[in-house]
Structure 1
């Protein structure tokens, strides 16, 4: 695996450079990943045999049939996950109530050393399970969270608190078990610093669409007078608000709106009680920059039209194909002045990229 990493990264660089050449971007900035131990999340099936059980994944053979692959170690996962995997498995095997009908194990680690383990079952979880799981949680000094169909058992927390360093400041983030977080924390720090450099320093306001748990929102807030961030998922809005308060930041408001809904509100086409309840006055903002980190499907046409009204657009993308498509419209009014590739997902075809667009 180590011998091929640079070759795979070089192939991604060549692919992205060629794909976006028609927009005449500046030279691509490349932010590489560590070759090992870069993932802070790992999810495994638990495979049961007559006298054993083990972590498993699946891959398809030449006939497109699923084959069970036993996983004893997982080099791409963080060292803390690899260290815990065999210890946890042995403890689960030794306790029948914890191993019976266990279906999956999910690990969520942090750079600061916290660990949340989600145990997913195909049977109800009872009081006996809770006692055994709590004892294991205390013994291994980890958080354990139980799930089965229609049931969630939170022994202590269903989240970890990550700490990311951006230049000379650290930020704390609540990362909830079932919510999206960047899996490669060290590359995420590079993305945050790149976005802050692209933002420079403004005496005006920032609009952020698709803010998630506030991953970019927190460090970007230092570079603007005020920030209005939007996100539709309730769990992400809750986490973003927790993160804002935890980091003692006072110039961010979060609106629970989709990008499409914000466009309607900004254009005066529709009123939203959610804005009134949150005491958010869109008209009071003086935006000069918009930051977007949309889902893989990209940005809808009406929101793209809205983006074209701002002086600067910072666009982080997890799908270069939809970014390329969106640029067909954005390039009519803006020019790419910075272009970056972040290798969040080594050994896969996935690429995270970023562009700074400035009005022509």
Structure 2
């Protein structure tokens, strides 16, 4: 099988991850690790497949790590949402019926939501003309979901380029517009647990302010803003910033602002006085920050940003790479204690795991 899927091994794998994360936290005193499990089937909200052609026959393909040249046909994908599995069949059938869609189709991508929305992206090794658009519009009506066509230096949006997601966070409903080329958490069920955990562990600070670095589309900061007087999110991706602004409007969160700036630049401006017009526009002095949340990429935080964390009484660190998280927080050990820690099983059947810690400054 070209993808990891072993439901009968799930409990053992989850226990192994829990033990591994506990081992990583050995140097810290901490409360009992909270473990948030995934569904064993249909948990991924997005998937992408190569589309392979052999004579008159074409099929979805994946590749085993040991042989990237030999395609393995994929007819069902039980780790992906039920809607993705339904659309895989519909799209494959349509492509075989319609040579205009099939001609030099290279890849198919699906983005779905827990609320039943979907987006289908068809990627080609040729330019797409009026005839393709005509056929794509027809199939879009048949499939019931919007289609995007991509080719070299070309992106054709037939209707819209986003899906509308509804998530329940700490018992409350939130809406998120998720864009085709923007980052979203792949496992929506575990995402709801993860953000709820962050909301629940930052209560009681309504007279203070929140900063989130790497805020993405507002996945954390929009639900968390209710716990604070004001909130500021920073993000470098223009797509994510625009999405976050729209999601703020969708959820009517007036006390949250989003600023487009890399965390490294923010840290250099704040700590080292580096000049930046964007930083000046934040009006940092108008905030009374108590809590910071960071959810960085796998490489973790740079040294200056780690130093910046020391300006906050509470640090919520969420990470897709616990090893770099542990390396980063080692510099905080003398001044902070862990008040909560958690494992979020975003990626079942793989060695990857999402982790979170809440650090509180030790009162002298």
Residue in 1 that maps onto 2:290: 288
Residue in 2 that maps onto 1:119: 122
Deviation (angstroms), 1:275:
4.4
State the alpha-carbon separation in 2 of the partners of residues 213 and 270 from structure 1.
27
Residues 268 and 323 (structure 1), Cα distance of their counterparts in 2 relative to 1, 3 Å cut: closer
Unpaired segments ≥5 residues, structure 1? none
State the alpha-carbon separation in 1 of the partners of residues 187 and 61 from structure 2.
22
State the alpha-carbon separation in 2 of the partners of residues 51 and 232 from structure 1.
45
Query: 1:213-292 maps to which residues of 2 (within 5 A)?
Result: 213-267=217-271, 269-275=273-279, 279-292=281-294
Residue in 1 that maps onto 2:131: 128
Q: Is the CA contact 1:60–1:66 (under 8 Å) kept in the aligned structure 2?
A: no
User: Which of residues 16, 25, 29 is equivalent to 1:20?
Assistant: 25
Deviation (angstroms), 1:24:
2.4
Q: Is the CA contact 2:108–2:122 (under 8 Å) kept in the aligned structure 1?
A: yes
Moved over 6 A (4+): none
State the alpha-carbon separation in 1 of the partners of residues 348 and 267 from structure 2.
35
Deviation readout 1:177-222 (Å, 9 max, x if unpaired):
1111000001000001100111112110001111011100110000
Deviation (angstroms), 1:337:
1.1
Q: Is the CA contact 1:60–1:67 (under 8 Å) kept in the aligned structure 2?
A: no
Query: 1:1-360 maps to which residues of 2 (within 5 A)?
Result: 1-61=6-66, 64=67, 66-202=69-205, 203-267=207-271, 269-275=273-279, 279-360=281-362
Residues 232 and 60 (structure 1), Cα distance of their counterparts in 2 relative to 1, 3 Å cut: closer
Deviation (angstroms), 1:268:
6.3
Deviation readout 1:276-299 (Å, 9 max, x if unpaired):
5xx531110000111111111101
Residue in 1 that maps onto 2:3: none
State the alpha-carbon separation in 1 of the partners of residues 180 and 79 from structure 2.
20
Q: Give the match's secondary structure for 2:282.
A: coil
Deviation readout 1:110-162 (Å, 9 max, x if unpaired):
11111100000000000100010011001110110010111000011111111
Unpaired segments ≥5 residues, structure 2? 1-5
State the alpha-carbon separation in 1 of the partners of residues 169 and 65 from structure 2.
40
Q: Alpha carbon RMSD of aligned pairs, Å? A: 1.2
TM-score using structure 1 length:
0.96
State the alpha-carbon separation in 1 of the partners of residues 187 and 18 from structure 2.
19
Q: Is the CA contact 2:170–2:199 (under 8 Å) kept in the aligned structure 1?
A: no
